[in-house]
Amino acid sequence: MPLAPAVLRLTGTALGLLLLAAQTTTASAAPPPPSPAAQATAQAPAPGPATWYPPLSTRGRFIVDGQGNRFRLKAANWDGAQGSWTGSGSVTDPASHHAGQNSYGIPLGLDRVPLDGLLADFRQLGINTIRLPFSNAMIHSTTPVPDIAVGANPQLRGRTPLQIFDAVVDALSRSRFAVILNNHTRTSRWCCGVDGNERWNSGQSTQQWADDWVFMARRYAAVPRVIGADLYNEVRRDVLDDPNWGLGDNHDWYAAAQFAADRILTEANPRLLIVVEGINWTGVPVDGLPHGRPMLTPARTLSHTLVDAHKLVYSAHFYGYTGPHHSGATGVGETHDPRYQDLTREQLAAALEDEAFFVEKTGRHYTAPVWVSEFGIGSSETNAAARAWFGSITDYFADHDADFAYWPLVGFDGHDDWALLRYDGAGHRTGILDSGDWRGAAWQHLMTAPSDAGPVTAVPTWRMLTTDHGDAVESLRVRDTGDWDPGAYKAACPDGLRLTGLSHTTGRGLCTDGGAPDLRASGAGQTVVVDEHYVPAGGDWASGYTKLQCPPGGFLIGYSVRGERLSAALCVPGRIPLSGVGRTVWFDRSDNRPVDAAGGDFAYGAYKGQCAANEYATGIAFTTRVGSRPGPDALLCRTLP
């Protein structure tokens, strides 16, 4: 989200680093019990966005609805419930809130316009999705909002912020808007500098954060058009430390997102899309020192694999005043790196591709939809470069048929000119729908440009497995069987996918469905192979090596390691007779992968072996010879029937 002009994002980072200041917060009360908003509504939906059918899932780079039709996220951010206090001055003084707008910890505008009137205005914009930010503090607050906060909605008087959030979610769902919940902040303080909200676990544990997500996902599990969980907003550096992507420590955003996502899908609501935003900022914003906005670039070499292989959406934010290596700060913390608005159209397109949209490339372990869940600009903006940037980025989104969400949706007239819709104290509306708003032409182009629609053809799915710092058992069926190799790091493909590739070192694996139905039999059977029991007489396909081979008719879905050494292979029976011609794919001295490189580089820097698209893996060979690496050396690949 944009900061006030005088306090652009991450100015506070440089100040904090100089002062070594730390933020402190107060623990919250326990969450209240679930509300009626968690009950399925029997009311007929009000007129709203075009017909679509939940739940949503993914096919390659596209999001699809429950009937397999493309669902493009044409979204806006209805903020307020994440908090608006800027962190200085009295919390009761509107001047101490972002743009002079005290949200009272609930979605903005409920003091000025009846809820149904707001939704009617949203429909006029043409959007179909609402990104609905909230804070962890909102979840735990037991204090009703003052009557003034819901002045235009007296039916909401006496309710806590969470109960008002319930009413908003329920109304949006009944009006056929898709709702994506966004954990925007921990405290109710405005984001996004050094403000106590830098990481998901700033001031709380990762366990507490995930517990709150399970609570929220369960709370709205019966509300049909709550379709997504956007895990955390703009993960960034605090005073002293950077977040990272895969180091396995307490600042590992990759691991935390994986942990929360799997808990949401297994404990709360398996219907939800899981939105993982890239890292927004690392380093010290000082010329000559390392700094930048990694965004989604780490996913090239380390991508997420969830227990449902078709629920992952990646996300990124772009504002004209930030840049690939620019925090957006002015004054202290400002560097001489170009901002996005300083780039040519061609340079901007290259930056968008490099930082985010490469993820949409088909046939890679990281392939997923990319949702630009924040971008925006003010209606009073006069800077020619900033205006040109807005035209260029909306053109890019239109040309690339991108999923997007504008920031923000609602604001107060005379206060936040960034808002698409602004309301005065009497509820009169102004904004981007007015002919005098210069942003209107770009907005209309974005909303009306040709877009893929209708049924989306299924494409092969590829997903990475990693045992870098622990288990990666992403099969629900395997999880139900318990610990199949105690003491080892275990990996198993999501249900519906099979193991097709391994690395010689690093413990990485590659899963696929090959674009075909699940190869696994419907029964619960599986076999943990720890020796050569199933290697037939005369079937030595890797002479001198230990071979872990599946029983006849079985194929590989997982493996385990102890350090570098292969520990076991996990096999399951096929739903169709499996035999086929076999071949040995060696990868102990070099890569041995199909020429089309399907799946992408799933173990960057390590030797890899991979079966062809028309094959399945049914054996792994390794050696314990002195001087040799004990990781996988070869795969036995057989032709599919």
How high is the pLDDT of residue 48? 57
Whether residue 112 is predicted with pLDDT greater than 50 in this model: the reply is yes
For the chain, give the percent of residues with pLDDT over 70: 93
Helix and strand tally (H, E) in the chain?
Answer: 10, 28
> Pseudo-torsion of CA 186, 190, 196, 201, nearest 10°?
30
Residue 50 lies in a domain: no
How high is the pLDDT of residue 3? 53
Residue type, 416: D
Q: Are residues 80 and 181 in the same domain?
A: yes
Counted residue by residue, the chain has a size of 641
Residue 99 lies in a domain: yes
Whether residue 24 is predicted with pLDDT greater than 70 in this model: the reply is no
Q: Are residues 437 and 528 in the same domain?
A: no
Whether residue 7 is predicted with pLDDT greater than 60 in this model: the reply is no
Q: Is 246 exposed, middle or buried (0-12, 13-18, 19+ CB in 10 A)?
A: middle
Q: Are residues 397 and 519 in the same domain?
A: no
Q: Are residues 382 and 432 in the same domain?
A: yes
Residues spanned by the domain of 497: 462-639
Report residue 580's pLDDT band, with 50, 70 and 90 as the boundaries.
confident
d(CA 464, CA 321): 35
Structural domain ending residue among the three candidates 424, 448, 472: 448
Structural domain ending residue among the three candidates 400, 424, 448: 448
Q: Are residues 355 and 433 in the same domain?
A: yes
Residue 8 lies in a domain: no
User: pLDDT tens for residues 498-527?
Assistant: 999 999 999 999 999 999 999 999 987 999
How high is the pLDDT of residue 20? 30
Q: Which of 14-28, 411-425, 566-580 has the lowest mean pLDDT?
A: 14-28
Whether residue 9 is predicted with pLDDT greater than 70 in this model: the reply is no
Q: Are residues 157 and 187 in the same domain?
A: yes
Mean pLDDT of 554-570: 97
Report residue 32's pLDDT band, with 50, 70 and 90 as the boundaries.
very low
Q: Are residues 419 and 556 in the same domain?
A: no
Structural domain ending residue among the three candidates 448, 476, 506: 448
Helix (H) or strand (E) holding 12: helix 11-19
| Alpha carbon separation from 465 to 328, 335, 475, 579 (Å, rounded) | 36, 38, 11, 26
Q: Are residues 393 and 507 in the same domain?
A: no
How high is the pLDDT of residue 524? 73
Answer for the pair 313, 371: CB distance below 8 angstroms, yes or no. Answer: yes
What is the CATH number for 367?
Answer: 3.20.20.80
Residue 399: count of CB within 10 angstroms of its CB: 11
Helix (H) or strand (E) holding 639: strand 632-639
Mean pLDDT of 226-238: 97
How high is the pLDDT of residue 493? 98
Mean pLDDT of 255-280: 98
Residue 541 lies in a domain: yes
How high is the pLDDT of residue 627? 87
Q: Are residues 417 and 510 in the same domain?
A: no
Residue 34 lies in a domain: no
Q: Are residues 444 and 473 in the same domain?
A: no
Residue 76 lies in a domain: yes
Q: Are residues 511 and 372 in the same domain?
A: no
Residue 402 lies in a domain: yes
Whether residue 202 is predicted with pLDDT greater than 90 in this model: the reply is yes
Longest CA span, the chain? 86
Residue type, 590: S
How high is the pLDDT of residue 341? 98
Q: Are residues 480 and 579 in the same domain?
A: yes
User: What's the structural domain count of the chain?
Assistant: 2
d(CA 588, CA 585): 10
Residue 14 lies in a domain: no
Residue (of 611, 581, 588, 634) closest to 500 by Cα position:
611
Answer for the pair 165, 79: CB distance below 8 angstroms, yes or no. Answer: no
Tokens standing for residue 184: 């925007």
Which residues, in sequence order, are bridge partners of residue 560? 490, 568
